Chain A
Amino acid sequence: MTLFSNRLAIYSSSLKLTLVLFFIFGTGAVAWHFTEHALKDWLITVPLLLLAFNLMTALLTNKVFRTHGWLLLFHVGLLLLLLVIGISQVTKLIGSVEVTNGSVYDQSSAQWQQGLFHPNRLDKLQFKLEKFNINYAPSHGETVRLDTQAYLTWLDEEGGVKKGIVGDKVPLKVYGYKLYTTHNKGFAPMFRWQPKQGFSNEGSLHFPAWPEHEFNQSNDLQIPGTSYKVWLSLKFFDPILSTMEPSVFRTPNDFVLVVRVGEQRHELQPGDFIEFETGRLEFLGLNTWMGFQIFYDWSLPWMLGAALLALFGMAGHFWKKFAPTPWEETLKEDKK
């Protein structure tokens, strides 16, 4: 048994194994790009776990580390770094949500991926998107997106009402989450459904992101509480952004909303409606939506600390190792 564990320690702490694992790690990182497989993150995770194990056993058994303090510090820093990365992977969350201009955040429309141990509190978030601006500038006959400002009102963790402007680089921070605006935004027709019996219902539909999906501004609408499904498409005729002067993202002035109900085709302007057997669908007007990205990750400062510790050790190691300057002798010989 001891023989076996000794053997294991020797193999698992081997520096040749380190090289092999480095190689596998690199290959894994490249392979990650060429697959969409659901388990693709393991391509990176497994080599990292093996490297951490390799490094840990080497730290315990390799004598080099006993005589080279800087090298030890450096590799301990690396191990800590791997540890932080590991913990952050199982506790982080990354997601996105689209919010209609003038409306409140709705968790049911958010999408996310979370680590196994993430304490999910997305249902606690409460904020309203009052309005937003996206500035564009002309550049070589095209447009470039500049800054975005989203005006938000939200409830903080104590229930206090807060107001502020968030953007590409200034996130909304609540419950450990950070919400940034993104380049995803688009148009959103607003509707009122008035059933013949019962209360009316208002809501909006988000068309695909603009200008990314400029040529696919259409979507299906399932009228709530009914079996009606209609197909909608937005056609507009005035350019939103200028290639000549600064401009902002806005709704078009000259547009029609094409609605297809079965075989019938309607073209609606704000205020127009379509009659159904059990109610009436009114087109209230065109609005916009903004896409937010949601992040939860506490690891950054810790990662930075571990990385700087490792770097400090590495610098010390090389400083010591390279203090002598043997090539200067050639210079002296030259001078003689």
Chain B
Amino acid sequence: MEQEQLSLWLAVVAYVVAGMLAIFGVVFAKKYDKSILFFMSLGLALHAVALGLRWIRLEHGPYLTMFEILSSNLFTLMLFFIIFYWRYKPVRPSAAVVLPILFIMMAWMMFTPHDAGMVPASFDTIWLWIHIGFGKVFMGSVLVAVGMGGVIVLRKYHWTEKKFANLPSNERLDDLAFRFMAVALIFDSLMLIAGALWAHDAWGRYWGWDPLETWAFITWLVLVITLHLRATLKLNHVQGAYLIFAVFALGFLTFYGVPFISDAPHQGTFG
């Protein structure tokens, strides 16, 4: 229990160090790439230890309580971002946008009660993993796109204009961001399909418009609208960026907001 807490705290510290370095790097035009990658990976390893210890202690994965959902999502978002950071060198400074967003999740996670929950019968299935796995790739892709959208928007302002001078042009960033949005759509669709199959398996119906399902659907629809808008109305890059933010915000609310206000991940798990 104490080791678990300790490694979680150390992980958060490492993440925060990486984030601060990313921000300093942009502000003072320094290259801390290697250190940032190191601290992010260190944080990830410590975080894995914390998750693993908890898993062993409670004998179920991190998907029941708000704390567990936040923690495991932070982990997968970080993992996704680290891979992106490592592979897409020219856009690394977008870490200065992405990591502070993750800080919010970290703070929220640390202030959420770390209690344990009970596994409902409907969670004892492979669908859980497929459904959640797709969802994580979806959010990871949107997060990466948000990083690039953030750079595009920040460039609008005089005081930050030069800070991102070394990055590719807005056009390129927009292009790359929307590739990640395309990946996001594919995985969001897969998540909905897997979710529907799971719901069918667990509750005999594949779609019931419960609050979580409705919000997940709205998120999917806004993502589709975003891609259609971009293809038909020739949006400029800043407008594209705002749409990316909208999808992220909706996705975030769906994942963390709706389970927060209703009693169970889905209403079907009641009683």
B186 is contacted by which of A22, A146, A169, A314 (Cβ under 8 Å)? A314
Given contacts A314-B185, A327-B176, contact A30 B225 (CB under 8 A): no
Q: Is A22 in contact with B204, judged by CB distance below 8 angstroms? A: no
A180 is contacted by which of B88, B166, B203, B211 (Cβ under 8 Å)? B203
Residues of A within 8 A of B125 (CB): 169
* Residues of chain A in range 314-336 having any CB-CB distance to chain B below 8 Å: 314-315, 318, 321-322, 326-328, 330-331, 334
* Residues of chain A in range 299-325 having any CB-CB distance to chain B below 8 Å: 300, 303-304, 307-308, 310-311, 314-315, 318, 321-322
Residues of B within 8 A of A314 (CB): 185-186, 189
Residues of A within 8 A of B91 (CB): 327
Bound-complex Cα distance A334 to B189 (A): 37
* Residues of chain B in range 80-109 having any CB-CB distance to chain A below 8 Å: 88-91
Given contacts A33-B209, A140-B115, A300-B200, contact A318 B182 (CB under 8 A): yes
Q: CB-CB contacts of A61-72 with B at 8 A, as 1s and 0s?
A: 000000000000
Q: CB-CB contacts of A26-65 with B at 8 A, as 1s and 0s?
A: 1001101100000000000000000000000000000000
Q: Is A169 in contact with B200, judged by CB distance below 8 angstroms? A: no
A23 within 8 A of B: yes
Given contacts A144-B118, A168-B122, contact A318 B186 (CB under 8 A): yes
Assign chain B's interface to a size class. Answer: 35 or more
A137 within 8 A of B: yes
B266 within 8 A of A: no
Given contacts A146-B121, A326-B172, contact A22 B90 (CB under 8 A): no
* Residues of chain B in range 197-220 having any CB-CB distance to chain A below 8 Å: 197, 200-206, 209, 211, 214, 217-218
B218 is contacted by which of A26, A145, A311, A334 (Cβ under 8 Å)? A26
Q: Is B225 in contact with A19, judged by CB distance below 8 angstroms? A: yes
Residues of B within 8 A of A297 (CB): 205
A178 is contacted by which of B193, B204, B206 (Cβ under 8 Å)? B204
Bound-complex Cα distance A76 to B42 (A): 47
Given contacts A19-B229, A300-B206, A304-B197, contact A183 B271 (CB under 8 A): yes
CB distance from A269 to the nearest CB of B (A): 30
Q: How many A-B residue pairs have CB under 8 A?
A: 114
Residues of A within 8 A of B214 (CB): 29-30, 32-33
Bound-complex Cα distance A198 to B162 (A): 98
CB distance from B66 to the nearest CB of A (A): 14
CB distance from A201 to the nearest CB of B (A): 33
* Residues of chain A in range 68-110 having any CB-CB distance to chain B below 8 Å: 94
* Residues of chain B in range 111-151 having any CB-CB distance to chain A below 8 Å: 115, 117-118, 120-122, 125
Q: Is B90 in contact with A330, judged by CB distance below 8 angstroms? A: yes
Residues of A within 8 A of B179 (CB): 318, 322
A139 is contacted by which of B88, B118, B222 (Cβ under 8 Å)? B118
Total A residues in contact with B, Cβ cutoff 8 Å: 50
B175 within 8 A of A: yes
B270 within 8 A of A: yes
Specify the chain B residue showing the minimal Cβ separation from A334: B90
Bound-complex Cα distance A94 to B207 (A): 12
Q: CB-CB contacts of B163-178 with A at 8 A, as 1s and 0s?
A: 0001110001101100
Q: Is A22 in contact with B271, judged by CB distance below 8 angstroms? A: no
Specify the chain B residue showing the minimal Cβ separation from A171: B204
Bound-complex Cα distance A19 to B200 (A): 30
Bound-complex Cα distance A25 to B179 (A): 25
Specify the chain A residue showing the minimal Cβ separation from B222: A26
Specify the chain B residue showing the minimal Cβ separation from A92: B205
Q: What residues make up the interface of A, taking CB atoms closer than 8 Å to B?
A: 15-16, 18-19, 22-23, 25-26, 29-30, 32-33, 94, 137, 139-140, 144-147, 168-169, 171, 178, 180, 182-184, 212, 293, 295, 297, 300, 303-304, 307-308, 310-311, 314-315, 318, 321-322, 326-328, 330-331, 334
30 contacts between A and B (CB under 8 A): A16-B232, A26-B218, A26-B222, A29-B214, A30-B218, A33-B214, A144-B120, A145-B120, A145-B121, A145-B271, A169-B202, A171-B204, A178-B204, A182-B271, A300-B197, A304-B193, A307-B189, A307-B193, A310-B189, A311-B186, A311-B190, A314-B185, A314-B186, A314-B189, A321-B182, A326-B175, A327-B91, A327-B168, A330-B172, A331-B90
Known: A19-B225, A144-B120, A168-B122. 11 other contacts (CB 8 A): A15-B232, A18-B232, A26-B222, A26-B225, A29-B209, A169-B122, A293-B204, A311-B193, A318-B179, A318-B183, A322-B182
Q: What residues make up the interface of B, taking CB atoms closer than 8 Å to A?
A: 88-91, 115, 117-118, 120-122, 125, 166-168, 172-173, 175-176, 179, 182-183, 185-186, 189-190, 193, 196-197, 200-206, 209, 211, 214, 217-218, 221-222, 224-225, 228-229, 231-233, 270-271
